[in-house]
Structure 1
Amino acid sequence: MAERKSTREVRIGDVVIGGNHPIAIQSMTNTKTQDVEATVAQILQLERAGCQIIRSTVPDMEAAKALQEIKKQIHIPLVADIHFDYRLAIAAMENGADKIRINPGNIGSAERVKAVVDCARERNIPIRVGVNSGSLEKELVEKYHGVTAEGIVESALDKVKMIEDFGYDNLVISIKSSDVMMCVKAHELISKQTDYPLHVGITESGTIISGNIKSSIGLALILNQGIGDTIRVSLTGDPVEEIKSAKLILKTLGLRNGGIEIVSCPTCGRTSLDLISLANKVETMVAEFPLNIKVAVMGCVVNGPGEAKEADLGICGGKQEGLIIRRGEVIKKVPEAELLEALRQELINWSE
């Protein structure tokens, strides 16, 4: 793991990214922002899963005004995602957005961008300058003979300079592509040319399976070079899955402590209980416990006891029953139907 690249600090609500601060995890709601009740419910669920910054789309003025009520009911910074209409960016800030995400290239004239920047400066609200490979300017596509990492970086730095020229530098940069290796190269290039904090992610990465694989590879290659200050795992699915994946990626790379690590066997013909279902239920259940321990879910007596004993806490399955193993010692045998609850009780009463 390379040493973390030094970036300037940016405060988003009560979360600070950049500098020596831990990499923050964020996600984006997929509710209609105008539906305050549904949006708040999803954000609260994401908070419980470990989301630290949440972004919501603001496609119209009703959504911009809804931010004010949403803010009252949540506990993490709220970022407004704006495209095309500069007035929505201003309204979002007036209604309490902790940060705004814009692509100055689609906001319109320099005067309109300046109006957004002026409003952000008055409130000291950071601006995330976002550029995606799918929206790269025609002249840059022509210059680099296609969509390239170099073109993405040039586009982003051009947008940053535009905002700097208006006298504002409370910025976060985001450069994303669905092409994993292009995205990696772009981050390598831009990290050498700026010290603004970087929001890292593989955009439009896909469904739970393909998205997790592409995001894990891309984020690992970028973060392992010490690049990145906040991340989002973009998945086509429940946003809570993004948080689970982000936490595991950071924990696996050693960039985050806390959170229960699950190890489970791949199953074979010796498995005599419904281990696949049990392992999935355990993974969902443990997300609510802020413990820095390893939990093993094993399916038979061949490798199960040994693997479970190496973990802090473990289940070892047998025929319609299983063992609960705590710090290497078998502490009880329970029927299969009671295994999940027995594990839950051990976690509730866990002490380091």
Structure 2
Amino acid sequence: MSRQIHVGNVPVGGGAPVTIQSMTNTRTDDVAATVEQILRLEPAGCEIIRCAVPDLAAAKAVGAIRERIHIPLVVDIHFDYKLALEAAAAGADAVRINPGNIGGEDRVKAVAAACRARNIPIRIGVNGGSLEKELLAKYGGPTPEALVESAFGHIRLLNRYDFDDICVSLKTSSVPNTIAAYRQMAAQSDYPLHVGLTEAGTPRMGVLKSAVGIGGLLALGIGDTIRVSLSADPVEEVYAARDILKVVGLRREGAELVSCPTCGRTKIDLIGLAEEVEERLKTVDKPITVAVMGCVVNGPGEARSADVGIAGGDGEGLLFRRGEIVKKVPQSQLVDELFRLIDQI
């Protein structure tokens, strides 16, 4: 089991539930836009939010943002240690930084001291696209071994200045390399791990790669907090992360949809029905399983483990609860009747 840190009031590691993170894509110095986005992410299920801090204006905005949101705020710093100091003073709950790329050791010491004084953890964010040149030369590229060696180098640098309130991430855009890096890291240390793939892509491939990479690691018991990185609205990242946690069996929250793949027996617009049900289930908080099946003969039986469901026929369908038929309704009423039944659970 990993050791535990606290990002604001949220525990990470040490047996705490795996938390969901995302990152804003607004200009951080635009406080109103950034807060508006975070307030959309919170009800979607985001539990820790990260904001880029590329300049002093962004660092100075951290306090105003933090005052208006309800989840911990992590600042993302590159190269300029003064931005980390400013953001820490402004009220950041954690700092994501690579200690090795902010200059001399006096700067690392200053950041470590500022974070230690305020009980702010540091996430060492190792990224395959920005590894140290000497490690790339040594290993011939951003291999898992190179990522892990980079992480331990940064850890030693912080430890030198009596700082050990650390979380680690080792991200690449390669699923096999990312999995291998995290497995090696988990085998060699007990630091909590922030798991994800970088540059995963658009929602279709990005969710798929993240489900395989993040889900595979979580199934092995590796990972304490996760982010699904997508070229999309950050809310979609949160929905994807929630789904991965549910599929891996780490959360039982909200509704889960099961639906059949259709076949030549299907006589209704099953795909349209499934998509409509999936969209409407996003607002359902009950931990239930909902089935959408295309065959009235086998549907109820095949989805017997579902709490509720519908099975389509020719212009009509069956509504069922735990495998037992409730009633037959016209196709046009199937979805509405399904959600009336869900409301009764």
Question: Contact 2:268 / 2:313 at 8 angstroms: preserved in 1?
Answer: yes
After superposition, the Cα gap between the structure-2 partners of 1:73 and 1:225, relative to the gap in structure 1 and judged at 3 Å, is same
Q: Which residue of 1 aligns with 2:259?
A: 264
Q: Deviations over 1:200-250 (max 9, x none)?
A: 111111111211221122123322222111111112212222222222222
Q: Which residue of 2 aligns with 1:17?
A: 12
Detail structure 1 runs of 4+ shifted over 6 Å in the superposition: none
Q: Deviations over 1:57-89 (max 9, x none)?
A: 112222222222222222211111111221221
Within 2, Cα distance between the matches of 1:49 and 1:345? 23
Within 2, Cα distance between the matches of 1:220 and 1:152? 20
Q: Which residue of 2 aligns with 1:158?
A: 153
For residue 131 of structure 2, the aligned residue among 136, 144, 148 is 136
* 2:91 equivalent to 1:96: yes
Within 1, Cα distance between the matches of 2:310 and 2:278? 13
For 1:268-287, list aligned pairs within 5 A: 268-287=263-282
Q: Which residue of 2 aligns with 1:184?
A: 179
Q: Which residue of 1 aligns with 2:55?
A: 60
Within 2, Cα distance between the matches of 1:216 and 1:319? 35
The code of the aligned residue for 1:102 comes to: I
Question: Contact 1:308 / 1:316 at 8 angstroms: preserved in 2?
Answer: no
> With structure 2 as the length reference, what TM-score do the two structures score?
0.93
Within 2, Cα distance between the matches of 1:83 and 1:208? 27
Within 2, Cα distance between the matches of 1:150 and 1:302? 54
* 2:74 equivalent to 1:79: yes
After the TM superposition, which of the residue ranges 124-133 and 184-193 deviates more from structure 2? Answer: 184-193
Within 2, Cα distance between the matches of 1:192 and 1:156? 13
Within 2, Cα distance between the matches of 1:108 and 1:337? 65
Secondary structure in 2 aligned to 1:192? Answer: helix
Q: Which residue of 2 aligns with 1:147?
A: 142
Secondary structure in 2 aligned to 1:74? Answer: coil
Secondary structure in 2 aligned to 1:27? Answer: strand
> With structure 1 as the length reference, what TM-score do the two structures score?
0.91
Q: Deviations over 1:243-295 (max 9, x none)?
A: 22222222222222223211012233444443323322322322332222110
Secondary structure in 2 aligned to 1:240? Answer: helix
Q: Which residue of 2 aligns with 1:239?
A: 234
Q: Which residue of 1 aligns with 2:166?
A: 171
After superposition, the Cα gap between the structure-2 partners of 1:267 and 1:141, relative to the gap in structure 1 and judged at 3 Å, is same
After the TM superposition, which of the residue ranges 14-23 and 258-267 deviates more from structure 2? Answer: 258-267
Secondary structure in 2 aligned to 1:263? Answer: strand
The code of the aligned residue for 1:348 comes to: D
After superposition, the Cα gap between the structure-2 partners of 1:344 and 1:96, relative to the gap in structure 1 and judged at 3 Å, is farther
For residue 28 of structure 1, the aligned residue among 18, 23, 26 is 23
Question: Contact 1:177 / 1:203 at 8 angstroms: preserved in 2?
Answer: yes
> Unmatched 5+ residue regions in structure 2?
none
After superposition, the Cα gap between the structure-2 partners of 1:69 and 1:274, relative to the gap in structure 1 and judged at 3 Å, is farther
After the TM superposition, which of the residue ranges 172-181 and 298-307 deviates more from structure 2? Answer: 298-307
For residue 70 of structure 1, the aligned residue among 36, 41, 65 is 65
For residue 306 of structure 1, the aligned residue among 272, 297, 301 is 301
Q: Which residue of 1 aligns with 2:218?
A: 223
The code of the aligned residue for 1:345 comes to: R
Q: Which residue of 2 aligns with 1:327?
A: 322
Q: Which residue of 2 aligns with 1:3?
A: none
Question: Contact 2:123 / 2:167 at 8 angstroms: preserved in 1?
Answer: yes
C-alpha displacement at 1:10, in angstroms?
Answer: 0.2
Within 2, Cα distance between the matches of 1:44 and 1:78? 12
The code of the aligned residue for 2:110 comes to: A
Within 2, Cα distance between the matches of 1:277 and 1:97? 44
Question: Contact 1:308 / 1:325 at 8 angstroms: preserved in 2?
Answer: no
Question: Contact 1:60 / 1:88 at 8 angstroms: preserved in 2?
Answer: yes
Question: Contact 1:105 / 1:159 at 8 angstroms: preserved in 2?
Answer: yes
After the TM superposition, which of the residue ranges 275-284 and 49-58 deviates more from structure 2? Answer: 275-284
C-alpha displacement at 1:308, in angstroms?
Answer: 4.1
Within 1, Cα distance between the matches of 2:83 and 2:40? 26
Question: Contact 2:296 / 2:318 at 8 angstroms: preserved in 1?
Answer: no
Within 1, Cα distance between the matches of 2:331 and 2:29? 45
C-alpha displacement at 1:147, in angstroms?
Answer: 2.1
* 2:33 equivalent to 1:38: yes
Q: Deviations over 1:152-192 (max 9, x none)?
A: 11111101110111111111011111111111111121112
* 2:313 equivalent to 1:318: yes
Q: Which residue of 2 aligns with 1:197?
A: 192
Q: Deviations over 1:278-334 (max 9, x none)?
A: 322322322332222110112332432333443101122234444332233333444
